[in-house]
Structure 1
């Protein structure tokens, strides 16, 4: 299994670091769909024992990023566009719920953070920097999830959005997209400043549905990751 060269991990950080690295490699496509994962190879590459690797693989299996056939193989789960479409719908509903819970508190510093994230997105789009654009978009959406103060909601949303990032990176690579999101974000901030919570929620729904439409259009164009 080809994996990037990486320094050995401190033992105290092994469990979380092994999980985070494997997840990032799967989401980013370094480990593509169908790639067989051998715990002893991964352990040797990362300089850890097989125990944290096995724990990480079980955790990733629970999250749907890895699949296992008992005593046969463990591999990166294939991409399923039908499941991806379901994920977009779930994330939309949960983010709208978070926005509704957070709306009365989205003032002052929270609004400033939204504006800063959107400014970062605009700069990244202008510079054709896909990685920064993705980070800025994530930062924008994270503001109302944090402001909602609902830990269970945040814990449920986190893995779902990781799966969506994997799908988008697989089908769109590192191509910079997001001009439409930029305008929707600006309109959302304006709505929140004006206390128009329903308008902000409608724009958020539009934002997520536009992402799904983009995926469907890409699939129709014959994408084959």
Structure 2
């Protein structure tokens, strides 16, 4: 059973500067983190009273968190709870188009402001990504990759831009889980992470921008390849 009664540890400086999230915000962050890690998939149904019982909280903050995720375009409501939103190929193409406009420049700005602490977390996440890839542990790979990405996004000096990018990325997390099951595409993702890490370590904003573009283009290619394979399998099953 999961509980939200014990918040994550923070440094003394952050404790003083950061307001403790209320219960709705804690439930929201919990669910969003599970989505980012691939722990919630398309077949899962999110029911408020079940989540409330698991987290040992009341139904109201859970309901509010689910509605917030729905309003952000991450969930769809059904007669039996909430499910991950299924994006069309056109939706995905448009999301990648927007991300290509925003992320390279944002990553370059983050590179300029990178802290030693942030770089250390990114390096550790890169190493964990490589271990998970070699072990074919997809969920561990997604967890490490999410840590890497969320860390550099947290270094973006414009908080509004950082929030916008985080939400755009969240929209395709379930899609990423499908593509990362393929060792070829997972290897490409790992290479992108390593190139971005190299750019941050060298404080090379041009390398960071180009590496982020490479990552997005290959992520889009992986998505379309998986979609084509699924369509082919469906046609073969029908004949």
Compared CA separation, residues 23 and 185, structure 1 to 2 (3 A):
closer
Match of 2:148 in 1: 140
What secondary structure is seen at the aligned counterpart in 1 of 2:42?
Answer: coil
Q: Deviations over 1:118-171 (max 9, x none)?
A: 2222122122222222122223223432222322222222222222212222x3
TM-score (norm 2): 0.70
Contact 1:113 1:140 in 2 (8 A): yes
Compared CA separation, residues 51 and 139, structure 1 to 2 (3 A):
closer
Q: Which aligned pairs between 1:83-162 and structure 2 lie closer than 5 A?
A: 83-106=91-114, 108-162=116-170
Q: Which aligned pairs between 1:164-179 and structure 2 lie closer than 5 A?
A: 164-169=172-177, 171-172=178-179, 177-179=185-187
Q: How many residues align?
A: 215
Large movers: runs of 4+ above 6 Å: none
TM-score (norm 1): 0.73
With 103-112 and 84-93 compared, the bigger mean Cα shift is at 103-112
With 109-118 and 125-134 compared, the bigger mean Cα shift is at 109-118
Contact 2:138 2:180 in 1 (8 A): no
Structure 2, unmatched stretches of 5+, are 6-20, 235-239
Match of 1:54 in 2: 63
CA RMSD of aligned residues (A): 3.5
Q: Deviations over 1:46-99 (max 9, x none)?
A: 554332232122212111133348xx7754254113222222233333321222
**1:206 has 2:214 as partner:** yes
What secondary structure is seen at the aligned counterpart in 1 of 2:73?
Answer: coil
Contact 1:79 1:167 in 2 (8 A): no
Q: Distance in 1 between matches of 2:149 and 2:125?
A: 9
Contact 1:18 1:53 in 2 (8 A): yes
Match of 1:32 in 2: 42
Match of 1:80 in 2: 87
Structure 1, unmatched stretches of 5+, are 1-5
